[in-house]
């Protein structure tokens, strides 16, 4: 069994790491480089802790060390959880490993060992330099440095064991959500709402009137207290910390060993037996019987047909929709946080003008940064677009359908954002909220038209059909650049409007946005009529 | 331009916007406030034979709870003070929240195990008014009789 395990581990390690010929000089060069990296990271960490201690005035003591252990190992557990989920249950090498003359248990164990080795290397390059730097700052004695060695070996075992146990519920939930996109979308929205209320609560703790220096002090105190609280309930990592600082060494080592045995037994009796069952049901090509009921509906117009198609796509892949508009979905949170801080300061009349100008800039940046779906609307049709064009109808209506869908969705999000904003921050002048809302709707309309026009003029149908990816899509980049340019131009206009001609400020802003939107509408209509027919694969 | 680039620009613009309003858009602070009349620690157990304020931290500070909160007060409420804090133990650190008039003392594991006694002093630099408190781990059997 041990020999098979060794071979499996070597097989996977060889597959995932650099290989050197035996007796090659490159091995020594690689070791030397890694030693230099270790020293450099230690120096950087020493400087970082010096800054934490002497500039941020955060106490660097034993509890700080325990907090660092909790933090680094939590990150390690999360990283291992994500990596192990893929490696254990979704990895392509499972298809090669399972037909081999080895037991499923041995594959499971070998994957854990491979992950343990990765985590050990990570700890060597991250945790060890941090612990050395901490020891240096605290004038630690020899035993402190000595205990770093067993701790570096023990900690990856704990994080990999915890992560392996957590992969079971994680994979079950992941598999469920993969098959229930609507539940995923609802959960995502709930997470967004949860984040909003959490931030609403956090921001509500800021004392009014806001003074930045005192606010900074409070933030540092809250951060320190949080670190101390985490450290004082650091569970196994408290035992590790106490070992480092030579507090009841043998009792704490005993606790650590007992926990390790507990984790090992839990993995043996829970994770290992479930491994094969979960792996076989988690592959992409797992066969599932699905009952589908299709109802054919006849549409009254071609535009409605295309519009319904957009709705169906959004319904079938809500995650993609949320992903496309994630920045826009953050709009109410960003608006609320920033304006709470602006309103909390004891502003002069100049401050009030600056609030308006900066709102124009930041909200415009967010809105125009969220129209990437419009800039790739035709491209994402891919190969199907050519089939579509062979139909004996005015298929340019697809562009109007996409435009309408994107406009309605973004407008809905903007309306909700402004409603939430006005409810959450009633001290903000309501007339400014209305005016900013009208202005943003007009800018957004103009930018959607411009973005879609870019894709009508230069769609990358063949590229998308081949790769299925929108990364490095030129129209998306152009749309974002244009959005940035528009935001900056309107900000300059806002400076003129709100500082030089304050009484006519919003009239000028909304008029300019209206001219922009109408201009883009005429331009889009003209280009669509002239060039849609020429779009080729 | 990429989406990550736009997010970065929004982040930077947000921070700069707060700084802009803080620097150019706020009214000046009123520095003509009155000087303080008194300055004192408000939570303590009693006085020792030298008439110094003492506080037993044995039930508050432990290995699993290494922080101690000390509250002080000064008056009148709208007075302007420049508070300076000092501790006798160099290893133990503190943080000062001037809004809430609170001092957080962060004990080290070593200081908790050795049950170190520390003296915390507060002083207003404008009026030189000051107060101090002795924090100690009271051994069993020792009783401090409060002044009646």
pLDDT of residue A515: 94
Chain A touched by B4 (CB under 8 Å): no
Cα–Cα distance, A490 to A443 (Å, whole number): 9
Question: B130-136 and B53-56: which strand pairing?
Answer: parallel
Residue A270 CA to its chain's centroid (Å) = 31
- Pick from A33-42, A262-271, A518-527, B43-52 the range whose average pLDDT is largest: A518-527
pLDDT surpassing 80 at residue A238: yes
Q: Do A342 and B64 touch (CB under 8 A)?
A: no
Q: Identify from A351, A360, A376 which residue to disrupt to test chain B contact, counting B C-beta atoms within 10 A and taking the largest count.
A: A351
Stretch A59-70: mean pLDDT: 88
Q: Which two tokens stand for residue B45?
A: 């157990």
Residue B53 CA to residue B71 CA, distance in Å, equals 13
**Residue B66 in contact with residue B112, Cβ under 8 Å?**
yes
Does the beta carbon of B144 lie under 8 angstroms from any beta carbon of chain A? no
Sorting pLDDT into bands at 50, 70 and 90, what band is A470? low
d(CA A166, CA B98) in angstroms, rounded, equals 44
How many angstroms away from the CA of A63 is the closest CA of chain B? Answer: 8
List the single residue in A220, A341, A477 with the smallest CB-CB distance to B2: A477
Report, as an integer, the average pLDDT of A81-90.
82
pLDDT, position A307: 85
pLDDT of residue A330: 86
pLDDT grade for B30, boundaries at 50, 70 and 90: low
Q: Which residues of B touch A475 (CB under 8 A)?
A: none
- A34 pLDDT more than 70: yes
B59-73 pLDDT tens trace:
888 888 888 999 998
Q: Is the pLDDT of residue A466 over 80?
A: no
pLDDT digits (tens, 9 = 90+) for A508-529: 999 999 999 999 999 999 988 8
Least confident of A201-205, A440-444, B26-30, B63-67: B26-30
* Closest alpha carbon within chain A to B30: A346
pLDDT at B33 over 80: no
Contacts of A63 in chain B (CB under 8 A): 66, 106, 109
pLDDT tens track for A193-209: 888 888 888 888 777 77
Average of per-residue pLDDT values in chain A:
83
Contacts of residue B60, defined as CB under 8 A and 6 or more positions apart, other chains included, come to B68
Looking at chain B, which residue has its C-alpha nearest residue A474?
B1
Query: Searching chain B, which residue's CA lies closest to the CA of residue A470?
Result: B2
pLDDT for A118 equals: 87
- Whether B12 contacts chain A with CB within 8 A: no
CB within 8 Å: B26 and A477:
no
Highest mean pLDDT among A137-151, A391-405, A465-479: A137-151
List C-alpha distances in Å: A236 to A67, A135, A239, A255: 12, 20, 5, 8
Mean pLDDT for the stretch of residues A58-87: 87
3-state secondary structure (DSSP) of residue B94:
strand
Average pLDDT score, chain B: 83
pLDDT tens by residue, A403-425: 899 999 999 989 988 888 787 77
Does residue B96 sit in helix, strand or coil? Answer: strand
3-class DSSP string for A190-216: HHHHHHHHHHHHHHHCCCCCCCHHHHH
Q: Using CA atoms, how far apart are residues A126 and A69, in angstroms rounded to an integer?
A: 11
Largest Cα–Cα distance in chain B?
A: 75
The token pair at A459 is: 């769609």
Whole-angstrom distance, CA of residue A408 vs CA of residue A236: 52
Kindly list the distances between the CA atom of residue A282 and the CA atoms of A89, A160, A170, A177, A190, in Å, as whole numbers in the listed order. Answer: 6, 21, 12, 12, 26
Judge: B25–A348 Cβ closer than 8 Å, yes or no: yes
- The reported pTM is 0.72
- How much is the pLDDT for A267? 84
Q: Phi and psi at residue B75, in whole multiples of 5°?
A: -140, 160
Chain A closest-CA separation from residue B141 CA (Å): 27
The rounded distance, in Å, linking the Cα atoms of A112 and A103 is 15
Residue A62, classified by CB atoms within 10 Å of its CB into exposed (0-12), middle (13-18) or buried (19+), is buried
In whole angstroms, what is the distance from residue A429 CA to residue A426 CA? 8
Q: How confident is the model at residue A394 (pLDDT cuts 50, 70, 90)?
A: confident
Weakest mean pLDDT among A32-46, A159-173, A453-467: A453-467
The predicted structure's pLDDT at residue B146:
55
Q: Do B25 and A327 touch (CB under 8 A)?
A: no
Task: Measure the CA–CA gap between A262 and A165, rounded to whole angstroms.
Answer: 12
CA distance B120 to B107: 13
User: For residues A27 and B13, which has the higher predicted lDDT (pLDDT)?
Assistant: B13
State whether B25 and A345 contact (CB < 8 Å): yes
Q: Cβ B25–A217 below 8 Å, yes or no?
A: no
Size of interface A-B (CB pairs under 8 A): 124
Q: State yes or no: ipTM above 0.85.
A: no
How near does any CA of chain A get to the CA of B85, in Å? Answer: 14
How high is the pLDDT of residue A490?
93
Residue A353 C-alpha, separation from nearest chain B C-alpha, in angstroms: 8
Cα(B26)–Cα(B23) distance, rounded to whole angstroms?
7
Residue B124, strand partner residues? B83
How does pLDDT run across A314-328, given as a tens digit for each residue? 877 777 787 788 888
Chain B stretch 19-78, residues whose beta carbon is closer than 8 A to a beta carbon of chain A:
20-22, 24-27, 63-67
Confidence of residue A399 (pLDDT cuts 50, 70, 90): confident
Strands B53-56 and B93-97: unpaired
Lowest mean per-residue pLDDT among A9-13, A42-46, A191-195, A255-259: A9-13
Single out the residue of A143, A250, A167, A62 nearest to residue B111, CA to CA. A62
**More reliable by pLDDT, A507 or A88:** A507
Nearest to B18 among A242, A341, A477 (CB): A341
Sign of the dihedral through C-alpha A480, A485, A489, A495: positive
Residue in chain A closest to B5 (alpha carbons) equals: A480
Confidence class for position A291, pLDDT limits 50, 70, 90:
low
Residues in chain A within 8 Å Cβ distance of B93: 57, 59, 61
Phi and psi at A287, nearest 5°, equal: -85, 130
Shortest CA gap A83–chain B (Å): 24
Q: Determine the average pLDDT of the residues in A24-37.
A: 80
The answer to whether residue B146 neighbours chain A at the CB level (below 8 Å) is no
Confidence of residue A236 (pLDDT cuts 50, 70, 90): confident
Report CA Rg, chain B: 21
Banded model confidence at residue A175, pLDDT cuts 50, 70, 90: confident
What are the backbone dihedrals phi and psi of residue B136, each rounded to the nearest 5 degrees, phi first? -145, 160
pLDDT at residue A106 tops 90:
no
- pLDDT value at A60 more than 80: yes
B8 touches chain A (CB under 8 A): no
The model's confidence at residue A18, banded by pLDDT at 50, 70 and 90, is low
Per-residue model confidence as pLDDT tens digits over A344-384: 888 888 888 888 899 999 999 999 998 888 888 888 887 77
Sign of the alpha-carbon dihedral angle for B87, B91, B96, B102: negative
Residue A23 confidence (pLDDT) above 70: no
pLDDT band at B143 (very low <50, low <70, confident <90, very high): low
Which contiguous run of DSSP H or E holds residue A492? helix A474-495
CA A462 to chain centre: 29
Q: How far apart are CA B70 and CA B61, in angstroms?
A: 12
Sheet holding B38-41, edge to edge: B38-41, B67-75, B102-106, B93-97
Contact A214 B6 (CB under 8 A): no
Cα three-residue angle A486-A488-A490, rounded to 5 degrees: 70
């Amino acid at each position: 069994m041990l020999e098979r395990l060794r071979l499996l581990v070597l097989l996977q390690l060889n597959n995932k790491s650099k290989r050197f010929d035996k007796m090659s000089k490159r091995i020594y060069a690689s070791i030397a480089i890694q030693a230099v990296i270790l020293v450099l990271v230690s120096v950087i960490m020493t400087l970082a802790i010096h800054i934490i201690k002497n500039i941020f005035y955060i106490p660097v003591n034993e509890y700080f060390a325990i907090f660092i252990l909790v933090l680094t190992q939590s990150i390690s557990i999360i990283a291992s959880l994500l990596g192990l989920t893929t490696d254990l249950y979704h990895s392509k090498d499972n298809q090669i490993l399972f037909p081999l003359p080895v037991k499923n248990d041995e594959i499971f164990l070998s994957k854990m060992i491979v992950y343990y080795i990765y985590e050990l290397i990570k700890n060597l390059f991250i945790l060890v330099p941090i612990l050395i730097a901490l020891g240096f700052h605290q004038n630690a004695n020899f035993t402190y440095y000595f205990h770093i060695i067993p701790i570096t070996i023990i900690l990856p075992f704990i994080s990999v064991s915890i992560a392996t146990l957590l992969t079971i519920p994680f994979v079950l939930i992941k598999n469920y959500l993969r098959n229930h996109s609507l539940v995923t979308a609802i959960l995502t929205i709930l997470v967004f709402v949860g984040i909003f209320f959490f931030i609403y609560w956090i921001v509500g703790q800021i004392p009014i009137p806001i003074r930045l220096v005192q606010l900074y002090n409070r933030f540092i105190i809250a951060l320190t207290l949080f670190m101390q609280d985490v450290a004082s309930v650091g569970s196994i990592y408290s035992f590790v910390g106490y070992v480092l600082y030579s507090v009841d060494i043998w009792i704490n080592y005993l606790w650590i060993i007992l926990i390790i045995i507990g984790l090992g037994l839990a993995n043996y009796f829970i994770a290992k037996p479930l491994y094969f069952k979960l792996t076989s049901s988690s592959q992409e090509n797992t066969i599932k019987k699905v009952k589908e009921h299709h109802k054919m509906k006849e549409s009254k117009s071609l535009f409605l047909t295309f519009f319904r198609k957009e709705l169906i796509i959004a319904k079938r892949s809500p995650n993609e929709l949320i992903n496309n508009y994630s920045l826009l979905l953050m709009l109410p949170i960003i608006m609320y946080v920033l304006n709470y801080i602006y309103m909390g300061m004891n502003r002069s009349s100049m401050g009030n003008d600056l609030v308006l100008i900066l709102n124009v800039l930041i909200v415009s940046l967010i809105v125009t940064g969220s129209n990437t779906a419009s800039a790739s609307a035709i491209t994402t049709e891919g190969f199907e677009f050519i089939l579509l064009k062979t139909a004996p109808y005015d298929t340019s209506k697809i562009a109007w359908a996409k435009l309408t869908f994107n406009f309605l969705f973004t407008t809905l999000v903007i309306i909700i954002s402004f409603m939430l904003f006005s409810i959450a921050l009633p001290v903000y002048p309501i007339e400014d909220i209305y005016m900013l809302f009208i202005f943003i709707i007009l800018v957004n309309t103009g930018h959607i038209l411009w973005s879609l026009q870019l894709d009508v003029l230069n769609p990358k149908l063949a590229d998308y059909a081949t790769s299925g990816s929108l990364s490095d899509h030129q129209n998306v980049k152009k749309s974002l650049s244009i959005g940035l340019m528009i935001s900056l131009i309107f900000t300059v206009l806002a400076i003129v409007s709100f500082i030089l001609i304050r009484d006519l400020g919003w009239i000028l802003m909304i008029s300019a946005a209206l001219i922009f939107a109408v201009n883009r509408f005429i331009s889009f209509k003209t280009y669509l009529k002239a060039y849609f027919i020429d779009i080729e694969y | 331009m990429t989406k990550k680039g736009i997010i970065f620009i929004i982040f930077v613009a947000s921070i700069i916007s707060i700084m802009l309003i803080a620097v150019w858009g706020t009214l000046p602070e009123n520095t003509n406030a009155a000087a303080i009349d008194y300055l004192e620690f408000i939570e303590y157990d009693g006085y020792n034979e030298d008439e110094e304020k003492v506080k037993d931290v044995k039930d508050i500070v432990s290995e699993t709870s290494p922080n101690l909160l000390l509250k002080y007060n000064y008056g009148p409420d709208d007075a302007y003070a420049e508070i300076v804090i000092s501790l006798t133990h160099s290893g133990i650190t503190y943080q000062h929240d001037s809004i809430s008039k609170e001092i957080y003392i962060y004990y080290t594991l070593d200081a908790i195990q050795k049950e170190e006694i520390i003296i915390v002093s507060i002083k207003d630099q404008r009026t030189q008014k000051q107060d101090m408190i002795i924090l100690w781990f009271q051994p069993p059997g020792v009783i401090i009789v409060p002044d009646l």
